[in-house]
Structure 1
């Protein structure tokens, strides 16, 4: 879901670029590769777009990077939490 806040432009650029890669790059039976590639390309090109459209030191670019870093940290914590849970008998 796209944000409606101050980070909307970065989110929109990321989604459009992510989905554009899906339309041009696909390896059958490789869902993880396909999604990882689209996420990587979407993130990097959205960051580049914001640098060019809003300026390399813009608040929009900084906010986009900050939200991505926080999301990656949240994902890492979730992965660790699932790896460390115990299953009751």
Structure 2
């Protein structure tokens, strides 16, 4: 999922990614956080956080995780890779 948010064009676009990921039966939230920390890119934290917030009830995402993700996006010095990311997600899959 993180790789898809990194390069959505390679997996059929953002809508395809969101629709596919929404069909997952489960998400390993600890592993997801670990993968995001390895990428260390604010846009991926933001995009993944957006997805998890949107499907919070489906994947039983605790509020504490979303808060950590939001904080991580706003840490000074974190790579943002502006131009793509959460801003383009607000209309995805709707």
TM-score normalized with structure 2 length: 0.31
Structure number having the greater helix percentage: 1
RCO (CA 8 Å, sep 6+): is it higher in 1 or 2?
2
Structure number, greater radius of gyration:
1
